[in-house]
Amino acid sequence: MPDHKDFLAALPAADKAALTVPSDAAGLIHLAGHAGMILVTGALIAARVPFWPLLLPVQGVLLIFLFTLEHECTHRTPFRSPALSDWVGRVAGLLIVLPFDWFRAFHLAHHRHTNLPGKDPELDSPKPETKAGWLIHVSGLPVWRGNLGLLVRLARGRERAAYLPARALPRMEREARILLALYAGAALSLFWSPVLLRVWVVPLLLGQPALRIYLLAEHGDCPRVANMFENTRTTFTTRAVRFLAWNMPYHVEHHVFPTVPFHRLPDLHRLIRDELKITAEGYAAFTRDYLARRR
């Protein structure tokens, strides 16, 4: 049975070259759309327009899916400029409480050892195996606790996971200290104004469950093997979700060829779709099947 390496080996060099060209224009246009929706929705909440509380979960989903932008920035593919990718990724990480320099090392280790027990750091946090466990997982409480604990360990120089390169640790620790200082300043600002609570903190808490469901579909219940056609899932979804997630529902495609920028993943999908082994017809269908297997 052919695997992802066979597919890549058979892909013509011209196609590979065309697929991997990043674009500042594509990245900045997409960023303007995503950031613009966050700013407009946040402004409406801050102005307390009629029925503004209904906008809180909308703002939360818009904010929390900056994760997919930060994820892309770890690969330096959203923009032609690596420096631009790094700084956009850092801002996204600040907004969702996920330190960028640490996440890059974590995520690249995940790509090297996707879904392999004892090697893939994503498996250090087990997937939920019961409906009660699923509810706790989707609530987002474990991830908030984990991210805050990570920041404190990094700031104290106590984080020494095997996948973290020693030469990068000082930069990660400095970033964690800066983030904690900024969060402390944001917390102090709440004594004068609750605006950040309404436009950022509460929406993030409300939006996190949507991201947990989305991320669970990427590798949940996939075989623990090295073949990217089997250990990763592509989820067929709406154009709006693909936009919000920076085309990452094409997740097999991303894992097979991670240097392909987000805006070329639909093109790679057209080349790869006949090879896909693990797919889902939307996130509701995936979730229904996932929970059915845990009765």
With 80 as the cut, is the pLDDT of residue 213 above it?
Answer: yes
pTM score = 0.96
Average pLDDT, stretch 185-207? 96
Coil/strand/helix, residue 167: helix
pLDDT tens per residue across span 19-50: 999 999 999 999 999 999 999 999 999 999 99
Mean pLDDT of 235-253: 98
How far apart are alpha carbons 39 and 6 in whole angstroms? 44
At 169, the pLDDT band (50, 70, 90 cuts) reads: very high
Q: State how far the alpha carbon of 101 is from the alpha carbons of 50, 104, 144, 183, 190, in Å.
A: 40, 5, 18, 17, 28
pLDDT attached to residue 1: 60
234, β-bridge pairs: 279
Q: What is the mean pLDDT of residues 177-196?
A: 95
Average pLDDT, the chain: 96
CA–CA separation, 287 vs 295, rounded Å? Answer: 13
Residue 51 has pLDDT above 70, yes or no: yes
pLDDT at residue 236 above 70?
Answer: yes
Q: Give the Cα separation of 211 and 240 in Å (integer).
A: 15
For residue 2, what pLDDT is reported?
72
CA gap 280, 290 in Å, rounded: 11
3-state class of 2 per DSSP? coil
95-147 pLDDT, tens digit per residue, is: 999 999 999 999 999 999 999 999 999 999 889 999 999 999 999 999 999 99
